[in-house]
Amino acid sequence: RYGPQLRRSIGVVVPTLMNPFFPKLLSGVAETLQPAGYYTEVFNAELDAMDLDHLLTRFVPAVQKGLILCAPKVTTRIVAEMAQTTALPYVLTDQADDIPGAARISVDDTAGAGQVVDHLVGLGHKRFAIVCPPQLPFNMATRYRGYLDALARHGIPSKAVTYVSAPLTRAAGEAAAAQVVRLPSITAIIAIDDDLAIGLLKGLARLGKRVPQDYSVAGYDNTDLAAYVTPELTTVNQPVMALGHAVAACILAQIAGQTPALPAPLPVQLQIRNSTARAK
């Protein structure tokens, strides 16, 4: 009774389920797949990245109709394996490694980073910390370049920008606050995602620093928490549901034997809230 249904699944390989971005992306995917009679199977690369054997021999073959790849490090291996064994439709998005020629749907990380910098420079900030991991996945490398290019466009020299290393968690953001406050003259902190930014808000408060009076803090994602922290977080709204719809539609088009029309990078919009203010 359930057999045919099990063969109508689409696998989604995510880097983590701890960041609210990915459950929301999965919701968007499901909104498009379910009415078409497909359901999603999730492979959480954070837990199983070491178990590539499981991923390649059990998960990929079990997923009958297609793959949505969002995780770094495993993407290239999966695509190479599929090239040997099966012609499963797939699409790359978000943190997936870059594979030239493969279908990819992105959001406009360059524009989003530029909007953050334009906003902070417009508020008079001249010295910046950028908080992000040392090894950036594909989309965040684009975002990081976007910050630096926009700062250069405003004539901000690279010596005015300090990179602070932290993995993509709220706890790491909280810990990074101690490094930031030791940096002389920094007034603006750019976190490469909201989890880091939210952690920074807590870490700065614990160190007796006020946001936005002592530091402006900007995030990236506009996750649902961003409007619920104090102060409310200025951040870039990623169209996460729309991204989920777009990657799911891309897979459905491939299943229908069509060449999917890939959209231009989806537009993003800076959401200005209370964590940023005029530099002192």
Binding site for ligand RIB (CB under 6 A): 19, 21, 94-95, 139, 168, 193, 195, 220-221
User: Shortest Cβ distance from residue 246 to ligand RIB (Å)?
Assistant: 14
- Residue (11 or 137) nearer to ligand RIB, CB: 137
Placement of tokens 């279908």 in the chain: 103
Whichever of 187 and 197 has its CB closer to ligand RIB, that residue is 197
Contacts of 154 (CB under 8 A, 6+ apart): 117, 118, 121
Which residues is 218 bridged to in the sheet? Answer: 190, 234
Tell me whether residue 102 or residue 253 sits nearer to ligand RIB (CB atom). 102
Q: How far is the CB of 182 from ligand RIB (least distance, A)?
A: 25
Tell the smallest beta-carbon distance from residue 72 to ligand RIB (Å): 9
Residue 169 Cβ, how far from ligand RIB at the closest point, in Å?
9
Please check whether residue 104 is in contact with residue 96, taking contact to mean a CB–CB distance below 8 angstroms.
yes
State the nearest-atom distance from the C-beta of 80 to ligand RIB, in Å: 22
- Token pair belonging to 33: 């797949």
- Report the nearest approach of ligand RIB to the CB of residue 33 (Å): 20
For the bound state, the minimum distance from the C-beta of residue 251 to ligand RIB, rounded and expressed in Å, comes to: 19
Query: Min. distance of Cβ 57 from ligand RIB in angstroms?
Result: 27
Q: Give CA 164 to chain center in angstroms.
A: 18
Among the listed residues 32, 16, 6, 20, the one whose alpha carbon sits nearest the alpha carbon of residue 247: 32
Quote the strand ranges of 35-138, DSSP E.
Answer: 39-44, 66-69, 90-93, 104-105, 128-132
Measured CA to CA, the distance from residue 196 to residue 177 in angstroms comes to: 10
Which CB, 73 or 126, lies closer to ligand RIB? 73
Nearer to ligand RIB among residue 162 and residue 237 (C-beta):
237
Amino acid at position 101, single letter: G
Q: Is the dihedral of CA 122, 215, 278, 196 positive or negative?
A: positive
Nearer to ligand RIB, 164 or 187 (CB): 164
Of 174 and 221, nearer to ligand RIB (C-beta) is: 221
Nearer to ligand RIB, 97 or 195 (CB): 195
Two structure tokens written together for 120 = 């902070």
Query: Can you tell me the distance from the alpha carbon of 74 to that of 71, in angstroms, rounded to the nearest whole number?
Result: 7
Q: Which of 60, 73, 80, 74 is nearest to 10 (CA)?
A: 60
Query: How much of the chain is helix, strand and coil, in % rounded to 5?
Result: 45, 20, 40
Phi, psi of 262 (to 5 degrees): -85, 125
